[in-house]
Amino acid sequence: MCLATVYKEQDNSVILRNVSRIDVDGRTITLRDIMGDETVVEGEILMVDLANSIVKLNLC
């Protein structure tokens, strides 16, 4: 299983670890971790590095 860590681009802080699913609806991004907990943020995906399991977001 490939899990990602999602970072906020502005300060490189971690938004959520062990992310197994990302859903995008316009500027609303829903992150779900392996335990099923969801975090919803407003912004856009800037970069996805699948080899290193990194996702960077630009938050509104």
DSSP codes, 3-36:
-EEEEETTTTEEEEEEEEEEEEETTEEEEEETT-
pLDDT-based confidence at residue 15 (cuts at 50, 70, 90):
very high
Tokens of 40: 């919803």
Mean pLDDT within 2-21: 96
pLDDT-based confidence at residue 1 (cuts at 50, 70, 90):
low
CA-based nearest residue to 6, from 28, 44, 40, 18 = 18
Q: Is 5:55 a contact under the CB 8 Å cutoff?
A: yes
Q: How many CB atoms lie within 10 A of CB 6?
A: 23
- pLDDT at position 32: 98
- Is the pLDDT reported for residue 50 higher than 90? yes
